[in-house]
């Protein structure tokens, strides 16, 4: 058990029969009335962010989570298959635990978050940036648009489609931001 004085960003707590991670918190001591703590909590199961206010000194249960390194092997009708980088133990996860699965290629290193007490997988996180090759894109012609931020759709080696600038061509390698599924930059070869 911990109290609100132990809150910090990234702390995982059990709240309303779910596991939440604290993304923001603020201790408030108003001039009139008791102190309280405003928080933003992100559910580890659904990814939904909620606002909640705890009274100062409120007791919460801290959940122990572990982040383990895995490597993506392949995908089939059972889900996504991974291998632990150190023990070579293999597991498979359903598609609902994979937020950016369309940017994952075979051999990709990922981090899987486990609830330590129950040994259940909570989520699978790709690195913040991955480098992928463009397998198809329409040729972009300068002067095609009236704005300077012109984008076109490109297909990547994993089959994902992504909006990229007009100067990206088939065969180019690009860096993709997996946090918001967007184009970041072209990679020099």
| pLDDT of amino acid 181 | 87
The answer to whether the CB of 55 falls within 8 A of the CB of 107 is no
Instruction: State what percent of residues in the chain have pLDDT above 90.
Output: 50
Nearest CA among 27, 22, 50 for reference residue 38: 27
Report which DSSP code applies to 69: E
| pLDDT of amino acid 141 | 67
Q: Which tokens belong to 100? A: 């950016």
pLDDT tens figures, 6-22: 999 989 999 988 899 99
Ordered by where they begin, the domains of the chain are 2-62 (2.30.30.30), 66-125 (2.40.50.140), 129-187 (2.40.50.140)
Q: Which tokens belong to 89? A: 């133990």
| pLDDT of amino acid 69 | 95
Neighbouring residues of 147: CB distance < 8 A, sequence distance ≥ 6: none
pLDDT tens figures, 128-159: 999 999 999 888 766 655 565 788 899 999 99
Instruction: State what percent of residues in the chain have pLDDT above 70.
Output: 94
pLDDT tens figures, 59-86: 999 999 899 999 999 998 888 999 999 9
**CA 7, CA 20: separation in Å to the nearest integer?**
12
**Strand ranges inside the chain, DSSP E:** 2-3, 12-15, 18-28, 36-43, 49-55, 59-62, 65-76, 79-84, 90-93, 109-115, 120-125, 129-137, 151-156, 161-165, 173-177, 182-187
């Amino acid at each position: 058990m911990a109290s609100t004085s132990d809150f910090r960003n990234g702390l995982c707590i059990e709240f309303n029969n779910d596991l939440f991670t604290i993304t923001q918190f603020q201790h408030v001591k108003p001039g009139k009335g008791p102190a309280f703590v405003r928080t933003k909590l992100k559910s580890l199961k659904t990814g939904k962010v909620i606002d909640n206010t705890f009274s100062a000194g409120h007791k919460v249960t801290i959940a122990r989570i572990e982040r383990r390194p895995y490597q993506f092997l392949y995908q089939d009708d059972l889900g996504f298959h991974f291998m632990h980088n150190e023990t070579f133990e293999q597991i498979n996860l359903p598609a609902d635990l994979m937020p950016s699965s369309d940017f994952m290629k075979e051999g990709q290193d990922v981090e899987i978050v486990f609830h330590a007490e129950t040994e259940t997988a909570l989520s699978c996180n790709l690195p913040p940036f991955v480098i992928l090759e463009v397998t198809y894109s329409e040729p972009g012609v300068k002067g095609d648009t009236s704005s300077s931020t012109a984008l076109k759709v490109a297909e990547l080696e994993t089959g994902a489609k992504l909006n990229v600038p007009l100067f990206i061509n088939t065969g180019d390698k690009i860096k993709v931001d997996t946090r918001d599924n967007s184009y970041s930059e072209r990679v020099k070869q």
